[in-house]
Amino acid sequence: MVYKKQLLSLFLLFSVLSNNVHADGEQAPVVITEANFEQEMLESKIPVLLYSYDVDSALHKTFLPLFTKICPEFTGQLKFAIMNIDENYDVVDKLNIMGESLLLMHKGQEYGYYQYFGNVLTKTSLRLACRNTLKNLKQYDQQHADHDDEDEDSE
C-alpha cells in the first residue's frame, strides 16, 4: 500500500515538473535535494519559497498543484521549490524543519520565517502570502542597507 502511494506521488511530481525551466527564472518548482541544496537555495539570487512535504500527507496531494499553479506569477521574484522531507534528512536538519507540510522563505545565506499551513490552503491565500513576503523582504533589505550606510559613516 505504501509503495503505491509513493509511486502515485512520484508520478504526480513528475507530471507537474515535466515542463520545468530552471536557472532563477523557474516556471515550475525546483526539486530540492541534498545534492542541489546549496546551489538552488543558498546561492539563489532571488528569495526561495520552499514547500517541504511528506508523501503520505493528504495535504501534500491537494497543495502541490496549487503551489505549482502560482509559481509562474512570481517568475523572477521568487523561486518556488519543493522537498520531500523523508529523502533529505541533512537539509531538514540544516533548515531546522520540525514537521511536515510547511512553507519556508529563504534568502541567500539568511533564513526567513516558517509558515505552517492552515491559512494558506487556497490560491488566493498563497498569492497573498507571497506578496506579503516580498514586501517584508524589501523592507528588511532597506533597513539593512540603511544600517550598513550608518556603519560606514561612523568609521
Give me the domains of the chain, ranges plus CATH numbers: 2-147 (3.40.30.10)
For 2-155, where are the alpha helices, taking DSSP H only? 2-17, 37, 58-70, 89-94, 123-154
CB 63 within 8 A of CB 110: no
- 52: enclosing H helix or E strand: strand 48-53
Which residues have C-beta within 8 Å of that of residue 155, sequence separation ≥ 6? none
pLDDT per residue rounded down to tens, the chain (155 residues): 555 555 445 444 444 444 444 444 447 899 999 999 999 988 888 888 888 888 887 777 788 888 889 999 999 898 999 999 999 999 988 888 877 667 777 776 665 555 555 556 788 888 988 888 888 878 877 887 776 555 555 55
pTM of the model: 0.71
